[in-house]
C-alpha cells in the first residue's frame, strides 16, 4: 500500500521505473536539460569513443539486452553532425581535416557510432545503440557491447548471440 501512495504522489499511476525513465527522457524537464548541458561541456573534451561504467539511459540499455555484470561494456561514442557530401576545397591551401570522408551515404549516424565502437573494440559484439545527447556539432550515442567469450556471458541463457560469434 505504501508503494501505491508513492506512485500516486509522483503522478505516474502504477507504472514501473523504466516507464518513468523513458517518460522523463521524452519530456525532458528543465532539471534534465541543465544537467545535460553540464555533461556536454565535459563530453566535448573527452575522446570520441569513451568507455563508461554505467549506461545513462537504463531503460533503453535494458531493452537492448544490457545486464549489469561482467562481460557487458557500455561505450559513449561521439559522431559529428552534418551531411556526407561536404564540398572539397577548390582553391587555396588544403585544410588538414577536410572532413570529406567521415560520413558515408547510406549509413545512419547510429550505425556509424556502432562501427566506430566496433573498430575500437574488435573483440566485442555490439548489441545495439541509442541516442543520448546532441549539440550543434556532435551527436552522442551509447553503444552496448558484449564479450561473447566471457564466462558469465557464455553461461547466460537469456542472451542470444549469432552462432558464428559463439
**pLDDT per residue as tens digits for the range 86-96:** 667 777 787 77
Give the number of other Cβ atoms within 10 Å of residue 111's Cβ: 15
Least confident range of 15-24, 66-75, 94-103:
94-103
Asked if residues 51 and 75 have their Cβ atoms less than 8 Å apart, the reply is: yes
The domains of the chain, with CATH numbers, are: 48-154 (3.40.1120.10)
Q: What is the pTM (predicted TM-score) of this model? A: 0.80
Alpha carbon distance 73, 64 (integer Å): 13
Residue 156, CB half-sphere, CA atoms under 13 Å: how many? Answer: 21
pLDDT at 157 over 50: yes
Residue whose entry in the numeric block shows the C-alpha cell 562481460: 71
Cα torsion angle, 83, 93, 47, 118, sign: positive
Q: For the stretch 138-159, what's the b/e string if a residue is b when 16 or more beta carbons lie within 10 angstroms of its beta carbon? A: bbbbbbbbbbbebeebeebeee
Give the number of other Cβ atoms within 10 Å of residue 113's Cβ: 27
Contact residues for 84 (Cβ-Cβ < 8 A; gap 6+): 102, 103, 104, 105
**pLDDT per residue as tens digits for the range 23-50:** 999 999 999 999 999 999 999 999 999 9
Grid coordinates standing for 105?
Answer: 551515404
Question: What does the pLDDT read at residue 3?
Answer: 46
Question: What does the pLDDT read at residue 7?
Answer: 47
pLDDT at 73 over 80: yes
pLDDT at 83 over 80: no
pLDDT band at residue 85 using 50, 70 and 90 as cut-offs: low
Amino acid at each position: 500500500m505504501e508503494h501505491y501512495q508513492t506512485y500516486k504522489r509522483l503522478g505516474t499511476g502504477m507504472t514501473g521505473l523504466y516507464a518513468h525513465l523513458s517518460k522523463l527522457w521524452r519530456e525532458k524537464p528543465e532539471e534534465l536539460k541543465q544537467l545535460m548541458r553540464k555533461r556536454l561541456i565535459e563530453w566535448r573534451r573527452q575522446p570520441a569513443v569513451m568507455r563508461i561504467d554505467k549506461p545513462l539511459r537504463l531503460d533503453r540499455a535494458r531493452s537492448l539486452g544490457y545486464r549489469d555484470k561482467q562481460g557487458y561494456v557500455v561505450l559513449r561514442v561521439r559522431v559529428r553532425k552534418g551531411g556526407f557530401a561536404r564540398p572539397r576545397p577548390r582553391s587555396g591551401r588544403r585544410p588538414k581535416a577536410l572532413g570529406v570522408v567521415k560520413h558515408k551515404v547510406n549509413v545512419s549516424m547510429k550505425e556509424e557510432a556502432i562501427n566506430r565502437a566496433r573498430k575500437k573494440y574488435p573483440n566485442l559484439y555490439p548489441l545495439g545503440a541509442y541516442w543520448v545527447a546532441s549539440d550543434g556539432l556532435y551527436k552522442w550515442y551509447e553503444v552496448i557491447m558484449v564479450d561473447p567469450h566471457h564466462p558469465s556471458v557464455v553461461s547466460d541463457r537469456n542472451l542470444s548471440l549469432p552462432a558464428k560469434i559463439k
